Structure 1
Amino acid sequence: MSAKHPIGIFDSGYGGLTVFRSILERLPGYDYIYFGDNARAPYGNRSFQTIHQYTWECVQWMFARGCPLVILACNTASAKALRTIQQRDLLNDPDQTKRVLGVIRPTAEVIGNYSQTGEIGVLGTVGTVRSGSYPIEIEHFFPDLKVHQQACPLWVPLIENGEYDKPGAEYFVKLYLDQVMANSADIDTLLLACTHYPLLQDQIVSQLSPNIKVVAQGDIVADSLVDYLNRHPEMETKLSKGDTQRFYTTTDDTDDFDHHASLFFRAEVRSEYVSMK
């Protein structure tokens, strides 16, 4: 039996499972490993140095399990760790064939196409917003697009505590929507720049006028990965196709992880515990 070379998908917690689900729909049949660093989550308020350290540790763990390609399905890790990993860590790695991709650049490449007015809102964690990664990346592709950022620090705890579809969530959803929309009456597109936020998408849409588009990242990242593999056949042929999905978490309460993860993944999840100590 040939060795498995799965696609690795990483997040600090559960949100990357929404991206994983979209990738699995577009690229069925491959082997996948999902790794959630739940024991050290949330990453959003941590320093660049700490987020890079944690992310690189997890990426190396996935490399050691045979993943030649790892997707950082986490906006905070993509904003604060990806550049250093790509420009320093991978260059210093003896195996120069491994690759790490993120979710920000693929989104930045297309987000301007959704807007008719030329103004969008970006909803993200404190860490993602403070990094300035979205305005910087979007300017490369849509220099005339006006980007209004809004940190939504209470949304992830709301989601992870199972309150995202409860009546009380409406107040906190409206709180940040009002703040971002106060920037300009011309905003016609809102980007959910956190992979947790699709669980709040129905709540968000219900509080906006019908002419405002709400864009989640899962399908964008999945389409970008399809394109990447088409352009890099040397990577595509390396990936194994045994149609397996394995889930790992750094929390020792795997039952709790499985319960929450199944909500994000929209299918049953059975995980294994990994210690990063």
Structure 2
Amino acid sequence: MGPIGVFDSGYGGLTVLKEIVAELPQYDYIYLGDNARAPYGNRGFDTIHTYTLQCVKKLFDMGCPLVVLACNTASAKALRTIQQKDLPHIAPDKRVLGVIRPTTEMVGTITQSNEVAILATNGTVSSQSYPIEIAKFFPDVKVFQQACPMWVPLIENNEHENEGADYFVKEYLDKILSQSNNIDTLVLACTHYPLLLRKIKQHLPAGITVLAQGKIVARSLKDYLHRHPEMEQRLTKTGTRSFNTTDDPGIFDQMAEIFFGQKVASAKIDADHL
């Protein structure tokens, strides 16, 4: 028995963990942010797979029978390989879940025009994971994508509430909306982006629904545990949270308060020993 592991390349997964804890507060959680090697968004498939698998194995070693990849890039470029090729050999009794499938399962139930926009990192866009997954569930839905490379730096430098951020928010929204006049659903396919939600809504035309992933992933995890009692019974339930980073804990704690919404005290894990 053990806690639920939550992994992200950096801070963004804390927005997902925040919603998971709100939905399922009784469980224990261990968060691992690979901040020393972030961002993952512009790295190649092999590197992202290697880094993600190292962090998943670390969470397994820390006692987690279940790990959530609260990172779109890791979910896009590493999850399937880990599930299909790695787990059967290294930990056949453990499970790794991602954030893309729960999001894509929801999209088609919300759009009325059958035209959906994906805002994400370069890595997630280039992986084509969202168009591929949405097509499996909703083949009639047309998907448009836009990479937003300036949004993560804005957020991580705590500039996302300042006026300068409006220029870059509007720039990418204008680019995605110029692809079609019928887009009615916008997916924030990066876990950093909810911190820009207020500004995004300010610059969007009326009638467009914005989907942030935290609540979707939290509800999906709740449903998963309901459908898999054999896993649910292996999870400890004392309501504890522990936070870990491969970079400086002081910097992590300061940033984590922005993403998680409360103070945390993290421990350092050396990326060289993963």
TM-score by length of 2: 0.98
1:209-248 equivalence runs, <5 A: 209-248=205-244
Give, in angstroms, the shift of residue 210 of structure 1. Answer: 2.0
* Alignment-derived partner of residue 18 in structure 2: 21
C-alpha distance in structure 2 between counterparts of 1:143 and 1:270, whole Å: 45
What amino acid does structure 2 have at the position aligned with 1:257? F
Whether contact under 8 Å (2:36, 2:271) holds in the other structure is: no
* Alignment-derived partner of residue 254 in structure 1: 249
Number of aligned residue pairs: 272
Matched residue of 1:168: which SS? helix
C-alpha distance in structure 2 between counterparts of 1:229 and 1:110, whole Å: 18
- Unpaired segments of 5 or more residues in structure 1? none
* Alignment-derived partner of residue 119 in structure 2: 123
C-alpha distance in structure 2 between counterparts of 1:268 and 1:257, whole Å: 11
C-alpha distance in structure 2 between counterparts of 1:261 and 1:121, whole Å: 28
* Alignment-derived partner of residue 60 in structure 2: 63
* Alignment-derived partner of residue 34 in structure 1: 31
- What root-mean-square deviation, in Å, do the aligned CA atoms of Structure 1 and Structure 2 show? 0.7
What amino acid does structure 2 have at the position aligned with 1:18? T
- 2:254 paired with 1:265: no
1:98-109 equivalence runs, <5 A: 98-109=94-105
Of 241, 251, 270, the match for 1:275: 270
Of 132, 153, 156, the match for 1:160: 156
Residue by residue over 1:7-53, the C-alpha shift from the partner in whole angstroms, topping out at 9 and shown as x without a partner, is: 00000000000000110011011110000000000000000000000
Residue by residue over 1:102-132, the C-alpha shift from the partner in whole angstroms, topping out at 9 and shown as x without a partner, is: 0001111111111111101000000000000
Matched residue of 2:59: which SS? helix
C-alpha distance in structure 2 between counterparts of 1:96 and 1:168, whole Å: 48
* Alignment-derived partner of residue 166 in structure 2: 170
What amino acid does structure 2 have at the position aligned with 1:260? M
Matched residue of 1:162: which SS? coil
What amino acid does structure 1 have at the position aligned with 2:260? F
What amino acid does structure 2 have at the position aligned with 1:120? V
Matched residue of 2:113: which SS? coil
* Alignment-derived partner of residue 80 in structure 1: 77
C-alpha distance in structure 1 between counterparts of 2:253 and 2:161, whole Å: 19
What amino acid does structure 1 have at the position aligned with 2:251? D
Matched residue of 1:148: which SS? strand
* Alignment-derived partner of residue 144 in structure 1: 140
Runs (4+) off by over 4 Å: none
What amino acid does structure 2 have at the position aligned with 1:162? N
Matched residue of 2:31: which SS? strand
Residue by residue over 1:134-169, the C-alpha shift from the partner in whole angstroms, topping out at 9 and shown as x without a partner, is: 000000111000100000011001100100000000
* Alignment-derived partner of residue 40 in structure 2: 43
